[in-house]
Structures are given as structure tokens and as C-alpha cells.
Amino acid sequence: MSNHAHGNFRQVTPADCVSCPAHGRGLFAAIAPAERDKLVGAFRIATFNPRETIYHVGDPGEYVFILHFGLVKLLRYSASGAERIVGLARSGDTIGLAALSQVAYRRTAVAMSACEICRVPAALVRDYNRRHPEFMAAILERYLASSDMADTFLTELSTGSAHQRLARLLLYLTEKHDHNEAPLLTREEMGALLGITTETASRITAEFRRGGLIAVLGADRCRCNTEALERIAQGM
Amino acid sequence: MSNHAHGNFRQVTPADCVSCPAHGRGLFAAIAPAERDKLVGAFRIATFNPRETIYHVGDPGEYVFILHFGLVKLLRYSASGAERIVGLARSGDTIGLAALSQVAYRRTAVAMSACEICRVPAALVRDYNRRHPEFMAAILERYLASSDMADTFLTELSTGSAHQRLARLLLYLTEKHDHNEAPLLTREEMGALLGITTETASRITAEFRRGGLIAVLGADRCRCNTEALERIAQGM
DNA sequence: CGTCATTTTGAAGCCCGTCAATCTAGGTGG
DNA sequence: CCACCTAGATTGACGGGCTTCAAAATGACG
């Protein structure tokens, strides 16, 4: 199964939660540590390299995943086989919520960078919620966040000119980082995210770089001129 | 408040649930009738005319709404004020789920046709779930459906040529009706849904009509040649 | 150094956005 | 009853932005 093909899954101890990169932000952020310590025995931590699949559309939904660090893309495939990115997950985000409804995953989740995730059995979440109904608030909060992101994708990243879309994407990716840094996606990923071709993504990225709107730092990071990108995002 | 500006809200009795157009499909479809009868006293049924607002983005989320019949659009406004339709609701669908998280509505819900809705206090749903944790499954199912729709909007209705998008939209609207009928949207609504201009929506609609791909029935209904539209949707 | 994937750039064509005019239908008041 | 008004739909003309197809450049890696 593709969700077992990669990542070294190791057991989780209460100590892991204390030092967790997503501490205070994950699905279980709000529950009492003593309660959480009773659950973590069933958790597993795993790392993924770029391009590795965390779960695949159609896989039976047995786990939800809490992203500790890294960037994950959520994919749907069109009838023609082309992939479209319908969501992104970052540190603290929970993915695979469909597992809570005991159905197969609706999307494919693929690491875009080095990632660490915490794998939680969906049955355990359902059972815990049965005994602590107030936990539903935490679950609904995740779904609300995912619904919000979908709206952002539709309003910000799927409308306007290609220049505007790419500017908005860079600003979106900058949000969660310091010093106006953002992960630099491949041109193909930009295309799949924005509904444009790889060539157009490349052309505009190169243009932004020449114009000093972005500065490439490493192989996969860049620094953004947010003020200038903001102007482009708004169509000026 | 815009969600009180329209619609005649009237009390609900158990008898209403028996004859409910969304019977067997609404949020409370799975619970025991005896249990439901204890809740319905707090429900309110209302009707809305086209263009009337059910709730507005920013309104405090106090209710979830179960759509009995009709078509509702869910809107987000871009920074420039242009409206983008990020979702549609049809018979049996539940809207306003953000209310369960005790936050303001994230979208605006507007009737596109004559609608009847059942208004349910969010506090009542949260309370019922506290006493019957297994009810969470029904709630998660609604969120999953809304997530699925968002993915469809991104993959089917925001990619490909304008011809493809409009064909896919007509097929999507046909799904829930007999005899290949579909509600006929205004050109402006088509544009807001597909990320194209009103003029383009008009041009292609007229083209489809001339080509016999759709036949206008009344002011707001049409019959679709699904086989031909299917071919266009796939890019032939 | 050679290979392969990715990125960049070029050239041509078309789809769609923009601006504008015309047409249609429904509603109102004289 | 009809002239008038208005909102929405339709159609035209034009230009530009994006896609498509193609080739060259870059860079990672054995």
C-alpha cells in the first residue's frame, strides 16, 4: 500500500508530545496531557521525503495524519489523468479527515518537502470522541480550516490573470514563514495549483526573479518582496 | 440582520418531518423519530425567493440550515468586491456548518430559486451531540460532502476551456433531476461559478442552444443533451 | 563527461476578456 | 393599450494573454 511504502514509522511516547514541533497546534492540542498520554501508544511518527506518498486516493481511510513540519500537497486526478492540487497542508494541519467517516481517502497526499507526520488511528479518534463528546469541537475546527482553504483556492488561486495568481500563491506560502521566505515549488506544481500551464508558470517565475520580486535562496526556498507582490495580486 | 430580513419562519411539528421533502436525507435523517420529535420544537421552516439572502458572511453563526428544496449559492467576495460562487446547495444539503464551531459564517448564502429551508439552532445540535456522540458521524458526513464539492469545483469547474466548464456545470446541475433537466442559471451566475465573464457565459450558452445541446424550457429550466455535453466536457 | 529531468525561452495561433451596441422581455404608469 | 424604462441576454470587433509545440539551456548526479 502506498501509505506504507515510505516513511519509517516509530512508536510515540509522551515525551515526543512535549517536544512535538506541532505542540499546541495539532488536533490534540487542547486535551489534557494526562489524557493524551493514554492515547499516544497507538500513534506513530514517520518522516517522508519529497515526492513520497503519504496516502493515496482510494486507500481505506484508517488514519488521520498530523503534520509536524514540511509541506504536503493534496491531489485530485481529472478524468484525463491530469493532476490538480486541491489543497496544501503545513505544520500543525491535520489531513485525511475522511478516515473519521470510515470511507476511503478522497484525495492523494504527497510530500513536497521533507516532512514529519504523526499517524493517528481513526478508530481511536472516534472512540475517544464517544467518551469525550466535547472533542468534536477540535475535529470541526479542522474541517472548517480545510473548508476555508478550499474557498481561498477558489477565490484567490483560480481567478484573475496568471500573474495575479502566482503573486497570491507566493504570498500565501510566505504567511507561515519568517523573513518573507517561502518554499519554492516546481513549475509543474505551480501549474497544478493555479490552473495554468508549466510554461506559463516558468515564464512568470523567471519574470518575477528578473524584476527582483523574488530572490531564489536555495534549491527550494525563496525570499519574496511582499509589498510588490501584493500590488500585483490586486491587479496593479 | 440579513438572515431575518426574508423568509416567513414558522414553527415545526413532528408531522412536518414526516412529510418533509428532505425526509431521509437531511442532517437528522438517521436519528430515531422519537428522538427527533423532542428537538423539532426549536426548528423553524422558512421559504425564500430568488435573490433573497439566507445568511451573510460575518453574521454570528447561530443556526445550521437544511435545504428542503431549491438551489442555494454560497458566495465569497474577493478583495475587489467581485463575487465568486464557492459552492452550491441542493435538496437535503446542510449549510452554515461553521455555526457548529461558534464562529461567524464564512460565506454568504443566497437563494437562486424558490427555496424552503429548515433552520436548526446550532446550540441544539451541539447539545444533542454531547448526549449522543454517535451523532458526530452525521455531521462529519456533511462536512465531507462539502469538501467533496469544493474539490469538484476546483477540478471540474475551474479548469479547462470555457466550453468544457459550462458543459460540466450543466451536467453537474442535471445530476439531481429527472429527464436531463437542469435549473438554468443567469449568465452572471455562470460566470461567478466558472471564473469566466458574463459575456463568455452568454456566448457559449447561446451557442449550446443553437447547437441543440440544451433546450430552454421555462424561464429558469432547460433540458440537456447529456451525451453531447459529456463529449464537450472531456474536450472533444 | 554524459545523461536525464527540469527550466527557460521562442514563435505562432487562438481563446477569452474588454468595451460597446443591440435586442428582448417584463414591469410601470400615462 | 401602448409608450417607456430597465435589467438581462446577445452579438460584434479588437487586442492581449495564455496555450501549444518546439528547441535550447541549465543543473543534478553517476
Q: Which of B80, B137, B151 sits opposite A101 (nearest CB)?
A: B137
Position B144 in a domain:
yes
B205 touches strand D (CB under 7 A): yes
Q: Are residues B28 and B138 in the same domain?
A: yes
CB pairs under 8 A between A and B: 113
- pLDDT at res. A5: 53
In DSSP terms, B77 is beta-bridged to B83
Position A79 in a domain:
yes
How far B19 CA lies from chain A's nearest CA (Å)? 29
Contact A140 B101 (CB under 8 A): yes
- pLDDT at res. B218: 84
Contact A136 B139 (CB under 8 A): yes
Q: Are residues B90 and B133 in the same domain?
A: yes
Residue where one domain finishes, among candidates B153, B187, B207: B153
Position B3 in a domain:
no
Q: Are residues B50 and B124 in the same domain?
A: yes
Q: Are residues B145 and B176 in the same domain?
A: no
The CATH number for A30's domain is 2.60.120.10
Position B2 in a domain:
no
The CATH number for B229's domain is 1.10.10.10
Indicate the burial class of B38 (C-beta count within 10 angstroms; 0-12, 13-18, 19 or more): exposed
B163 touches strand D (CB under 7 A): no
Position A175 in a domain:
yes
- pLDDT at res. A71: 96
- Residue B187 is part of which domain span? 162-233
Contact A147 B148 (CB under 8 A): no
Q: Are residues A17 and A119 in the same domain?
A: yes
With CA of A163 and C1' of each nucleotide, the nearest comes out as D17
Per-residue pLDDT at A89 exceeds 90: yes
Q: Which of B97, B131, B150 sits opposite A150 (nearest CB)?
A: B150
With CA of B219 and C1' of each nucleotide, the nearest comes out as C25
Confidence grade of residue A1 (pLDDT, cut at 50, 70, 90): very low
| CA atoms in the 13 A half-sphere facing the CB of A99 | 24
Long-range CB contacts (within 8 A, 24+) of B200-209:
B200/B162, B201/B162, B201/B166, B204/B162, B204/B163, B204/B166, B205/B166, B208/B166, B208/B167, B208/B170
* Residues belonging to chain B with any Cβ–Cβ distance to chain A shorter than 8 Å: 76, 78-80, 84, 86, 97-98, 100-101, 103, 106-107, 126, 129-131, 133-134, 136-137, 139-141, 143-144, 146-148, 150-151, 153-156, 158-159, 195, 234-235
Position A4 in a domain:
no
How far B86 CA lies from chain A's nearest CA (Å)? 6
For residue B107, what are the contacts with CB-CB under 8 A and spacing of at least 6? A151, B57, B74, B75, B76, B86, B87
In angstroms, the CA of B146 and the C1' of D15 are apart by: 40
- pLDDT at res. B22: 85
**Which tens digit of pLDDT belongs to each residue from A151-173?**
999 999 999 999 999 999 999 99
Per-residue pLDDT at A3 exceeds 50: no
- pLDDT at res. A81: 80
**Which tens digit of pLDDT belongs to each residue from B143-174?**
999 999 999 999 999 999 999 999 999 999 99
With CA of B203 and C1' of each nucleotide, the nearest comes out as D10
Q: Are residues B166 and B134 in the same domain?
A: no
Residue where one domain finishes, among candidates B153, B184, B217: B153
In angstroms, the CA of A206 and the C1' of C11 are apart by: 19
Q: Sign of the C-alpha dihedral, residues B186, B192, B196, B198?
A: positive
Q: Are residues B116 and B171 in the same domain?
A: no
Q: Which of A137, A151, A195 sits opposite B159 (nearest CB)?
A: A195
Chain A residues with CB-CB distance to B80 below 8 A? 234-235
How far B136 CA lies from chain A's nearest CA (Å)? 7
In angstroms, the CA of A126 and the C1' of D12 are apart by: 61
Mean pLDDT of A36-50: 93
In angstroms, the CA of B165 and the C1' of C26 are apart by: 30
**Which tens digit of pLDDT belongs to each residue from A102-113?**
999 999 999 999
Residue where one domain finishes, among candidates B109, B126, B153: B153
Q: Are residues B14 and B83 in the same domain?
A: yes
Segments of chain B scoring below 70 in pLDDT: 1-6
- pLDDT at res. A80: 76
- pLDDT at res. B6: 64
Mean pLDDT of A142-154: 96
Position A187 in a domain:
yes
Q: How far apart are CA B150 and CA A212, in angstroms?
A: 35
Q: Are residues B142 and B29 in the same domain?
A: yes
User: Of the candidates A34, A33, A30, which has an alpha carbon nearest to the alpha carbon of residue A134?
Assistant: A30
- pLDDT at res. B15: 87
How far A21 CA lies from chain B's nearest CA (Å)? 26
Position A57 in a domain:
yes
B197 touches strand D (CB under 7 A): no
- pLDDT at res. A4: 42
**Count of domains for chain B:** 2
**Percent of chain A clearing pLDDT 70 (strictly above):** 97
The 8-class DSSP code of residue A211 comes to: T
| CB distance A59 to A2 below 8 Å | yes
In angstroms, the CA of A228 and the C1' of C17 are apart by: 25
Q: Are residues A169 and A144 in the same domain?
A: no
Q: Are residues B89 and B166 in the same domain?
A: no
Q: Are residues A149 and A175 in the same domain?
A: no
